[in-house]
Amino acid sequence: MKQNGMADDVSFMLSRATSAVVSILRVDQAQVNCVREFELFDDQLEDVENRIVFNSRSMVEVQNEISPLLSTLRIMQDSLIKLISKSINASLPSSFNDTIKKINRLNSRGYNTN
């Protein structure tokens, strides 16, 4: 029964990881497209100020992918803590952020975490 629960957790983690990789690939391709779109107008730029206003569909695509990607990575962090907790059969905080805080608290008290 315990092994089946771990398999489900690992499957969930791999699904999220695949989603993150797909998002990263989309951001990368959209960034390449954005640079190409900008280069179409590059020769028309003369005597510009310090700032160039540019917008394109690809730029909006990059912006729209960032937030879901960060959310996916955060969910993966917290899932990783749960997987580690199950695999070492120990109680750990429920989030990566809480885990880091606990480590920092222990370090400030002089405990060796190595």
pLDDT at 18 over 80: yes
Determine which helix (DSSP H) or strand (DSSP E) holds 107, and give its type and residue range: helix 96-108
- Which single residue is written with the structure tokens 């003369």? 46
Query: Would you say the pTM of this structure is higher than 0.75?
Result: no
Amino acid of residue 15:
S
Give the per-residue pLDDT at 42.
75
Cβ contact 52:94 at 8 Å: no
Q: What is the residue range of 41's domain?
A: 2-108
Q: Is residue 26 part of a domain?
A: yes
Instruction: Give CA–CA dist 67/32, Å, rounded.
Output: 19
Q: Is residue 104 part of a domain?
A: yes
Into how many domains does the chain fold? 1
Q: Is residue 113 part of a domain?
A: no
pLDDT in tens, 74-112: 989 888 888 888 888 878 787 778 878 877 776 777 655
Q: Is residue 114 part of a domain?
A: no
pLDDT at 1 over 50: no
pLDDT band at 25 (very low <50, low <70, confident <90, very high): very high
